[in-house]
Amino acid sequence: MKVAVVGASGYTGLELLRILLRHPELEIAAVTSEQRAGLPVGDAFPALRGRLDLRFESVDPGALAGRVELAFTALPHAASAAAVAALRASGCRVVDLSADFRLRSLETYETWYGAHPAPALLDDAVYGLPELHREALRGASLVAAPGCYPTSVLIPLAPILRAGLVEPHGIHIDAKSGVSGAGRTLADGYLFAELDGNCRAYKPGFSHRHAPEIEQEASRAAGSEVRVTFVPHLLPTTRGIATSVYLRPRTGDAAAAREALRDAYAGEPFVRVLREGELPSLQSVRGSNFCDVALVDDARNDTWILLSTLDNLCKGASGQAVQCANLACGLPETMGLLETAPQP
Amino acid sequence: MKVAVVGASGYTGLELLRILLRHPELEIAAVTSEQRAGLPVGDAFPALRGRLDLRFESVDPGALAGRVELAFTALPHAASAAAVAALRASGCRVVDLSADFRLRSLETYETWYGAHPAPALLDDAVYGLPELHREALRGASLVAAPGCYPTSVLIPLAPILRAGLVEPHGIHIDAKSGVSGAGRTLADGYLFAELDGNCRAYKPGFSHRHAPEIEQEASRAAGSEVRVTFVPHLLPTTRGIATSVYLRPRTGDAAAAREALRDAYAGEPFVRVLREGELPSLQSVRGSNFCDVALVDDARNDTWILLSTLDNLCKGASGQAVQCANLACGLPETMGLLETAPQP
Amino acid sequence: MKVAVVGASGYTGLELLRILLRHPELEIAAVTSEQRAGLPVGDAFPALRGRLDLRFESVDPGALAGRVELAFTALPHAASAAAVAALRASGCRVVDLSADFRLRSLETYETWYGAHPAPALLDDAVYGLPELHREALRGASLVAAPGCYPTSVLIPLAPILRAGLVEPHGIHIDAKSGVSGAGRTLADGYLFAELDGNCRAYKPGFSHRHAPEIEQEASRAAGSEVRVTFVPHLLPTTRGIATSVYLRPRTGDAAAAREALRDAYAGEPFVRVLREGELPSLQSVRGSNFCDVALVDDARNDTWILLSTLDNLCKGASGQAVQCANLACGLPETMGLLETAPQP
Amino acid sequence: MKVAVVGASGYTGLELLRILLRHPELEIAAVTSEQRAGLPVGDAFPALRGRLDLRFESVDPGALAGRVELAFTALPHAASAAAVAALRASGCRVVDLSADFRLRSLETYETWYGAHPAPALLDDAVYGLPELHREALRGASLVAAPGCYPTSVLIPLAPILRAGLVEPHGIHIDAKSGVSGAGRTLADGYLFAELDGNCRAYKPGFSHRHAPEIEQEASRAAGSEVRVTFVPHLLPTTRGIATSVYLRPRTGDAAAAREALRDAYAGEPFVRVLREGELPSLQSVRGSNFCDVALVDDARNDTWILLSTLDNLCKGASGQAVQCANLACGLPETMGLLETAPQP
């Protein structure tokens, strides 16, 4: 099945290419990049030298019609929605990696991102977290691949909320991300010399764009309004998110919480619920599509801590997008995705 | 004034030497190390080549009597208390960097560390956080230099607790530390290849030895029992701690909290309370004795977040020890400590 | 085809497991580790949780007879030769990742490594650099997988020597390696805090054990004795080797040298000769089995510089070992090895 | 003595401020930055919060006349020369950190940098390597602080050349630098995600602007024309240069070479010639003004290797500039510069 990667020059686009190159059924037929149109892909990205004999095309969704059955769109928000609308109009299935179709409320979208270029498509989009919405993803024509932070929060948190085991307000999320989450943004703050050995919180409280996305999906899982405080941090590394979620249990039955996690993920190919005493690390998941999860009980302070790790570019973005594409296209869900994290 | 560094071959010992070499009044007269006795200091630590013309001596507190007026002890717990007892018996003033005199309750100490070799000295020890206990430190004969994590937590938290502005239970502390906090421990988990690009929580909940130390001092500040959940993490860097403390405000008056911080630290030489909108980073404090602090208000979720950064080996250990020594010896508090963090 | 990884708890063993898990024809039937015998593999190596349902066995080559057709041995030198001898005696094909069968001269081996436990097998071993010895590797029963540094040197250097274009003496090799090359050695010098941001030469001149291996194969390529100065360095990263080789051209015809490289590697799946003006980087090859190569001409100083990069654990060790196993077993040479380097 | 830092917003400017803040005689009276004019210094550089109560001024050399006796200029080349000319005209002593006054040949300058705005001043400038030109620096009115790479090469190389012990052609220099050497350049290649764990050669051969500077000073030391091949590399760290220089000895008398080094640097405060068997590392010098040097003899291949390490922003730039300023102003040469490298 021929696919296109629209907006392939950013880090999620590159990661898509890397995964698709090992995918036995999805074949990269077109890659687009406005800035690099005309350039051979291997010239722009030396890791791909000799691996992919294509040139970047400029973004022209019409030109892709008929050439590909599926497109991954990895453009900045708003630009992505416009491309998605054109691709959908030509009958192309789309997995969108931007934020444009993640929020179900147009009002919330516009509060955080500004005007939406294709609001009519919002209802068609399925939130692409297979562990929460697998059935809706099968055969889906438009998938909104989740944000990296929301994935790292929702995988451990959703089963606990669904089981009604914790207070839905006063949830504290402390997340630490590798720098690639910021993409290839050219700003002082992302220079090597500014981040080497550094660590800093940014957009703390409820000011990061992933915060409303977390609350939307957490509230769906809980069946009632969830409130979170979200404090993301930059880590001095490139890939990976380590997240801690602090919860106030309603009953203090940590065994029930552990069981809720195990039940939810017993058959899941990419979520590993660790045994009591084991703790997740970035190194165990970096470069892979796995998400490792643990629950720690601090009964003396009426607190549970959920810990999770994943690779922000893979399970947090492009790996998950391919997982959704597999589901949407009727392929085995794990196809092309069972790579083990390199250790070390 | 001649001083000794007892246990100078670990990272806090080395950092003490680095600071003392620039101190105009404290002169390094003896350095001890059981393992390296007889070796010139510069042979063991190449950064000190040509800087310090001394050989390591074996640890013999009696031999130091009369040679030095002040000793910094940086031995493992229990070993440190034994050395402190001998040094005190010979009339030497001591700043101890181990955990042996930090906890005021012998019972708590024994729960976490085992038998105490010198319990009679516990009452003499002053907890060496000048920002909280300056007056008691002036002229003190035995100072217990605080742990790195407790320093990073207590500097932002104490003024808020003292003002009674937050719930004393249900406090969540998420701390991220550079690897030097583990000292020179030879274990798989501290190898470069295991930590490069890695991040992981360890001893989460109430299982790290710094947790009871935090509660002790937080409770003193609050005037009532404080309960904390403490989740330390290892960062892929060598120096620095970035800490987030999640609090439930009693009244929601964030302006009062900011004022409490500003009032507490208006005249402090090493605590910088950032303006609203500014956030601390490791790079701004690494290598220096400064602690940067900010408060973020997430009113919609009834949460305040305190953020702090410091260098675990300097303000979190050896810099603070020298600050305490300055106070104990009647020297200007900032002497030898006003170095600016290198940026980048 | 069932295979064993003998000595699977080091970094090259782990990397073998990672590669073999994606290999469609080679199935991991046994993994051994003296230290970890009895432990489930996923407990020792969290990246492998849920990926490989095996326990470590203790090293008992006899017990592997009949169970596997091929064994990868990744034990320390001497221990490896002993295991290889037992495995060969039971008819098992072996790819050895230790240094035991790399040197063809027993005398040279003994000078650098001490007594050899199985000298009779030396003549059977094929040096496992497919780009130099492909035909000998087809169907080989004992392969000596090359050292990481020799691979990074010989790939660019052999074609130039073979063509007789440079002086065979006075060759200067400056190599920079990630720390994983040292394996999981527990020593102060490999702690994170000692290597973070550090860089240092070690064993410079002709004192690293890879130096005689380089000279052996370089001399074979040249058809006469080659002399090299070899200065390895540790880089503050985990994976990858970047090597510079300084050569004195005989005629100064850099075009001929470039042609020699291009001719040698035109059809090679894993060697990419860069175009003039392009330069190799670690990031383009890290995590992959590729080796990128460039030649720079500094005619005004009668010098050519060969630059190469590869991943020391993959093309420099385990990836190359699998490449050799594919050749030895009659499988397609690239099977399981075409993974692209993650960028970033 | 009041001083100005002209162009204080780059990394060398920042490092100057850090050093001057601890300097007992030089007082920062003015800092300029075109981009940041009007901004308090502590707002731009959080490490300086509370340390320096000044605002950036725009660059107006006339406005500095009478206010400062000495100016450090750290502007881009050409811009720096123009500022220097104005400052000199107003009688201000200048230490220039740009490349504008390093090359004694106007023709060479123009080949590498373009037109020179103040060629008349070239003859007044003293090349600011105190270990080579101390006497000329005493009382100098215009100092050209050397490049970071040339410093790392010339300190080990000059005494060997001066003694006539090696061939002056065919010298091979392999240098590895932390990223801060590129300053705060906003380009893809300097993003954290592009450099983390990466290493790559750049501008190899004779194409880096520091190459002619190296040859100029090496030739002065040798008393005849020296030819070098210079291959700089980027390291995945922020600070520090590790350099290897490969030499062909004329006589092979390595003892004479070691003696030349020891004699040259016996009384030097900032150059440490290591004993045989010791090797320099970045960690031993990073953050300090020291340069560590070793010589390795590979007699079997007629090669000597000089190894050096220094901090590119300190001994390679701002520390050396202050060292020169001390000499120019008649202050003790080491004043403000004896800080020990933090280890770890």
Chain C neighbors of D244, CB-CB under 8 A: 174, 201, 204, 231, 233
Report whether C243 contacts C174 (CB < 8 A): yes
- Model pLDDT, residue B61: 82
Picking from C200, C206, C303, the nearest residue to D170 by CB comes out as C303
Tens of pLDDT, residue by residue over C120-161, are: 999 999 999 999 999 999 999 999 999 999 999 999 999 999
For residue A27, give Cα distances in angstroms to A1, A21, A44, A54, B14. 6, 7, 20, 12, 57
Q: How many Cβ atoms from other residues are within 10 Å of residue C24's Cβ?
A: 9
- Model pLDDT, residue B339: 97
C334 touches A: beta carbon within 8 Å:
no
* C288-300 mean pLDDT: 98
Tens of pLDDT, residue by residue over A310-331, are: 999 999 999 999 999 999 999 9
For residue C92, the one-letter residue type is: C
DSSP B55: B
Write the DSSP string, B65-79.
Answer: TTT-SEEEE-PPTTH
* B163-175 mean pLDDT: 98
Chain A neighbors of D195, CB-CB under 8 A: 192
Picking from C178, C187, C193, the nearest residue to B179 by CB comes out as C193
Please provide the distance, in angstroms rounded to a whole number, between the alpha carbons at the two ends of chain D.
35
Contact C186 B184 (CB under 8 A): no
**Catalytic residue flag (residue B92):** no
What ipTM was assigned to the predicted interfaces of this complex?
A: 0.97
- Model pLDDT, residue A60: 86
Q: Which two tokens stand for residue B79?
A: 């070993």
D302 touches C: beta carbon within 8 Å:
yes
Contact D47 B15 (CB under 8 A): no
Contact D281 C169 (CB under 8 A): no
What gap in Å lies between CA B270 and CA C151, rounded to an integer? 52
Closest-CA residue of chain D to C238: D197
Closest-CA residue of chain C to D200: C281
- Model pLDDT, residue D63: 86
Report whether C250 contacts C170 (CB < 8 A): no
Q: For C42-195, list the strands marked E by DSSP.
A: 56-57, 70-73, 93-96, 126-127, 142-144, 171-177
- Model pLDDT, residue C38: 96
Catalytic residues of C: 148
Contact D242 C279 (CB under 8 A): no
Residue A59 has pLDDT above 90, yes or no: no
Chain B neighbors of D14, CB-CB under 8 A: 343-344
Q: Which residue has the higher pLDDT, A62 or A190?
A: A190
C184 touches B: beta carbon within 8 Å:
yes
Percent of chain B beyond pLDDT 70?
Answer: 100
What gap in Å lies between CA C43 and CA A275, rounded to an integer? 10
Residue B305 has pLDDT above 90, yes or no: yes
For residue B291, give Cα distances in angstroms to A48, B77, B153, D162. 45, 26, 10, 50
Distance of CA C187 to the CA centre of its chain: 23
Q: Which of C233, B194, C191 is nearest to D177 (CA)?
A: C233
Q: Are strands A171-177 and D27-32 parallel, antiparallel or unpaired?
A: unpaired
**Average pLDDT taken over every residue of chain D:** 97
Q: How many Cβ atoms from other residues are within 10 Å of residue A185's Cβ?
A: 12
Report whether A171 contacts A226 (CB < 8 A): yes
Q: Quote the Cα angle for A31-A32-A33, to 5°.
A: 135
Q: Which of A257, A279, A58 is nearest to A161 (CA)?
A: A257
- Model pLDDT, residue C60: 86
A234 three-class SS: strand
Closest-CA residue of chain A to B206: A298
DSSP D191: B
Report whether D160 contacts D247 (CB < 8 A): yes
Contact D11 A193 (CB under 8 A): yes
- Give me the residues of B, 114-173, that contact C with CB < 8 A: none
C24 touches A: beta carbon within 8 Å:
no
Tens of pLDDT, residue by residue over C42-92, are: 999 999 999 999 999 998 888 898 899 999 999 999 999 999 999 999 999
- Model pLDDT, residue D65: 82
B262 three-class SS: helix
Q: Which two tokens stand for residue A226?
A: 């969830």
Tens of pLDDT, residue by residue over C208-252, are: 999 999 999 999 999 999 999 999 999 999 999 999 999 999 988
Nearest CA of chain C to the CA of A180: how many Å? Answer: 7
Report whether D282 contacts D237 (CB < 8 A): yes
C249 touches D: beta carbon within 8 Å:
no
The confidence band for D62, taking pLDDT boundaries of 50, 70 and 90, is: confident
- Model pLDDT, residue C59: 83
Contact C238 B187 (CB under 8 A): no
Report whether A291 contacts A272 (CB < 8 A): yes
Nearest CA of chain D to the CA of C170: how many Å? Answer: 6
Chain B touching partners, 3 or more CB pairs below 8 A: A, C, D
Whether the link from the prior residue into D168 is cis, omega within 30° of 0, is no
Cβ density class A137-168: b for 16+ within 10 Å, e for less: beebebbbbbbbbbbbbbbbbbbbbbbebbeb
Contact A197 D238 (CB under 8 A): yes
Residue A65 has pLDDT above 90, yes or no: no
Contact D205 C281 (CB under 8 A): no
- Model pLDDT, residue D55: 97
Please provide the distance, in angstroms rounded to a whole number, between the alpha carbons at the two ends of chain B.
35
Q: Which of C207, C210, C205 is nearest to C181 (CA)?
A: C210
* C265-278 mean pLDDT: 97
> Active-site residue among B92, B148, B314, B324?
B148
* C5-33 mean pLDDT: 97
Chain B neighbors of D182, CB-CB under 8 A: none
- Model pLDDT, residue D60: 86
Residue B337 has pLDDT above 90, yes or no: yes
Q: Who contacts D22 (Cβ-Cβ below 8 Å, separation ≥6)?
A: B338, B339, B340, D336, D339
Residue B60 has pLDDT above 90, yes or no: no
What gap in Å lies between CA D341 and CA D321, rounded to an integer? 18
Angle, helix A210-222 to helix A148-162, in steps of 10 degrees = 20
Catalytic residues of A: 148
Report whether B56 contacts B82 (CB < 8 A): no
Residues facing residue A2 across a β-bridge:
A27
Q: Who contacts A123 (Cβ-Cβ below 8 Å, separation ≥6)?
A: none
**Average pLDDT taken over every residue of chain B:** 97
* B25-48 mean pLDDT: 95
Secondary-structure breakdown of chain D: helix, strand, coil percentages, each rounded to the nearest 5:
35, 20, 40
Nearest CA of chain B to the CA of D87: how many Å? Answer: 28
Q: How many CB pairs under 8 A join A and C?
A: 95
- Model pLDDT, residue C61: 82
Closest-CA residue of chain C to D244: C174
Q: Who contacts B248 (Cβ-Cβ below 8 Å, separation ≥6)?
A: A170, B166, B167, B170, B302, B303, B304
DSSP C318: I
Tens of pLDDT, residue by residue over D268-312, are: 999 999 999 999 999 999 999 999 999 999 999 999 999 999 999
Picking from B17, B50, B340, the nearest residue to D48 by CB comes out as B340
Order of all β-strands in the sheet with C228-234: C200-201, C228-234, C171-177, C241-247, C303-310, C291-298, C271-273
Chain C neighbors of A47, CB-CB under 8 A: 283-285, 288, 340-343
- Model pLDDT, residue C311: 98
Picking from C45, C46, C343, the nearest residue to A47 by CB comes out as C343
H/E run at residue A310? strand A303-310
Tens of pLDDT, residue by residue over A204-251, are: 999 999 999 999 999 999 999 999 999 999 999 999 999 999 999 998
Q: Out of A186-190, B111-115, B300-304, which region has the weakest mean confidence (pLDDT)?
A: A186-190
Residue B215 has pLDDT above 90, yes or no: yes
Distance of CA A185 to the CA centre of its chain: 18
Q: Which two tokens stand for residue B106?
A: 């012998």
What gap in Å lies between CA B179 and CA B186, rounded to an integer? 12
Q: How many CB pairs under 8 A join B and D?
A: 95
C180 touches A: beta carbon within 8 Å:
yes
Report whether B222 contacts B161 (CB < 8 A): yes
What gap in Å lies between CA D167 and CA D182, rounded to an integer? 32
What gap in Å lies between CA D63 and CA C319, rounded to an integer? 64
B9 touches D: beta carbon within 8 Å:
no
Nearest CA of chain A to the CA of D195: how many Å? Answer: 7
Q: Which of A288, A299, A272, A305 is nearest to A157 (CA)?
A: A305
Distance of CA C328 to the CA centre of its chain: 16
Q: Are strands B93-96 and B27-32 parallel, antiparallel or unpaired?
A: unpaired
- Model pLDDT, residue A61: 82
